[in-house]
Amino acid sequence: MDNSIAHLKLTGTQINYYFLCQRKLWYFAHDIQMEQNNDAVYLGKLIHETSYEREKKEIDIDGTIKIDFIGKDRVIHEVKKSDKVEEPHIWQLKYYIWYLKQKGVEGVTGKINYPKLKKILDVVLENGDMEKIETIMVDINRIITSPLPPVVNRMKICKSCSYGDICWV
Amino acid sequence: MYVIVVYDVDQKRCGKMLKLCRGYLHHIQNSVFEGEITEAKLEELKIKSRKIMREEDNDSLIVFKSRNEKWLEKEIVGTDKRPVDNVL
Amino acid sequence: MKQNYYIFNNGCLRRQENTIFFEKEDGTRNVIPIENTEAVYAFGEIDFNTKLFNYLAQKGIPVHVFNYYGFYSGSYYPRETLNSGQLLVKQVNHYTNMRHRLALARAFVNGASFNIVKNLRYYNNRGKDLGEYINAIEGYRSRIEESGAVEELMGIEGNIRNTYYKAWPTIIDCEIEFERRVKQPPDNMINALISYLNSLVYTTCLGEIYHTQLNPLISFLHEPGERRYSLSLDLAEIFKPIFSDRIIFTLLNRQQITNKDFMTEVNLCYLNESGRKTVVREYDERLKTVITHKKLERQVSYRHLVRLECYKLVKHLIGEQEYEGFKIWW
């Protein structure tokens, strides 16, 4: 792997936010977090904490990525509350698979669990994904190292976003 | 939102339910709680109560919700202990 | 919205069974639902222990303490959990760089005095002749932008407040004796009310700062160290006319607060317990009142307006959007 990408040490949350909202990505990287006072986020955390209690939870790898739990046959799981925006979840998991691959762990696939919806989504690395992830990483680094947060248009998700107040006030 | 929470559980678990609910709402009568609460805190209360209750004993908890306390007409017959007051 | 708890009785506050109990001297007790508590105000003589403080810290709940006369003594401010090194550096920079500091200090005075004028206009439109005061304050306001130092700005602010207070006997219907603002200690009813309510506004601002990454020690209009959490003083300037002054006018004009609610000693006037309770209930009601926020297009409480002010400061500090003090529009 390209060394300049490896040292970026991006977290899964950052990959997720890159697809969700790049302002959120910037604020989050600057430790300006809003989660603590948002009901929707708190609910998400609760679901996280109370579902799949039997499985081993939160596997921390290099202090960089945190996998919710690992199932049989090298399947990594990510638990999410709602499937309203699937793309960020999918890329978060693809990034984990990519990350493990860099560390020499092959044959990993992923599943996104939506316990509230009783739904499971399969995720695998497809052709071209490796390159795309590397481009994304460089772009994330560009965003979080720029002095100002990027300007984004008001989206549907802004309404329930914990950063809504700081963005639009 | 403003809620009234009532529960009916086997007496072995009454104490646990009481202790749980007291952390979130005001105890107004036996097995009855009332107060202002956020959606997330209510969800948390429900999750924790599920862990206490037992299906085989038909334990249950009921939540009555109102957007605002003002839309709830309350009448007290007998002693008003003002249990929900935040000025003590 | 989480609740504030205001404790006037003497007694003991302690952790018990994963919540907090307040036990009065006579043995009766109240349970305070911890999960739904924003802050505790201690007006009575209350015993606390470290077990309680550890618990409150864990839940992020501050305790504001008031002395026998109802004057603010200080706050127990739990360990901060929201820290941003990069934002702190910027906050410090905005204090040390005089140009940056002045810009923020001006914005505070500008916002505060706008809200003051708004209060005067409100009563001017309701048959009180306040034109001369409004004009005088507008005159001072026009000098805010050209002020070259924070001290000068403080001087302008002082003039605005003095003029504002001179208008109070016209605004308030009942006979009052009020010429100038006297603090430490207040010498008459109005000064006692102002001191009391201002300390409530200060604690509200402090509580909201706690929920953000801002550092409460570094301020811009007030000199850091003037009071421990001086950023609260800056923010309180904006909100005093809205939260504090409007309540004073209302309470006096509706005669909800009268002579009977005060105690006087030599050169000292303070609210008695029933007065303090009346004010605190009105204040608490005010914090919970909701309005539709024009920019956010949703309902927010008065208390949340303070939080939003913090967010605006954050945006200013990171260089995203110039800060403008909150201006009341109703």
How far the first Cα of chain B sits from its last, in Å, is 22
Phi, psi of A155, deg, nearest 5:
-115, 170
> Per-residue confidence at C283, pLDDT binned at 50, 70, 90?
very high
pLDDT above 70 as % of chain C: 100
Average pLDDT taken over every residue of chain C: 92
Alpha carbons C133 and C169: distance in angstroms, whole number:
12
* Residue C64: pLDDT over 60: yes
| Higher-scoring residue by pLDDT: A143, C80 | A143
> Per-residue confidence at A35, pLDDT binned at 50, 70, 90?
low
Q: Locate the DSSP E strands across C186-229.
A: none
* Residue A53: pLDDT over 70: no
> Per-residue confidence at A161, pLDDT binned at 50, 70, 90?
confident
Residues 301-320, chain C, touching A (beta carbon < 8 A)? 307-308, 311-312, 314-315, 318-320
Pairing relation of β-strands A119-123 and B2-8? unpaired
Alpha carbons C250 and C244: distance in angstroms, whole number:
10
Q: How many CB atoms lie within 10 A of CB A145?
A: 9
Quick one: tokens of A159?
């309404």
The 3-class secondary structure across C45-96, one letter per residue, is CEECCHHHHHHHHHHCCCEEEECCCCCEEEEECCCCCCCCHHHHHHHHHHHH
* Residue A1: pLDDT over 60: no
- Closest-CA residue in chain B for C11? B88
* Residue C251: pLDDT over 90: yes
* Residue A71: pLDDT over 90: no
CB contact under 8 A, C22 and B88: yes
* Residue A72: pLDDT over 90: no
CA distance B53 to chain C (A): 18
pLDDT at position C124, please? 93
Instruction: List pLDDT tens digits, range B45-70.
Output: 998 898 888 888 888 999 999 887 77
> Per-residue confidence at C179, pLDDT binned at 50, 70, 90?
low
* Residue C284: pLDDT over 70: yes
> Per-residue confidence at C175, pLDDT binned at 50, 70, 90?
confident
Residues in B closer than 8 angstroms to C35, CB to CB, are 23-24, 41, 44-45
Pairing relation of β-strands C268-271 and C262-265? antiparallel
Q: Which of C86, C213, C296 sits opposite A168 (nearest CB)?
A: C296
pLDDT above 90 as % of chain A: 24
CB contact under 8 A, B38 and C284: no
Encode burial over A11-45: b for 16+ CB neighbours within 10 A, e otherwise.
bbbbbbbbbbbbbbbbbbbbebbbeebbebbbbbe
Phi, psi of C218, deg, nearest 5:
-100, 115
Contact between C301 and C1 (Cβ < 8 Å): yes
Nearest Cα to Cα of residue A120 among A71, A78, A65, A166: A78
Task: List all residues 6 or more positions away from A5 whose beta carbon is below 8 Å from its beta carbon.
Answer: A134, A137, A138
Alpha carbons A66 and A11: distance in angstroms, whole number:
8
CA distance A147 to chain C (A): 8
DSSP B16-69: HHHHHHHTTSEEEETTEEEEE--HHHHHHHHHHHHHH--GGGT-EEEEEEES-G
From residue B8, give the alpha-carbon distance in Å to each of B27, B35, C317.
14, 19, 53
CB contact under 8 A, A166 and C85: no
Q: Which of B38, B40, B47 sits opposite A50 (nearest CB)?
A: B47
Residues in B closer than 8 angstroms to A35, CB to CB, are none
* Residue C307: pLDDT over 70: yes
pLDDT at position C40, please? 95
Nearest Cα to Cα of residue C288 among C298, C303, C276, C308: C303
Average pLDDT taken over every residue of chain A: 83
Residue type, C3: Q
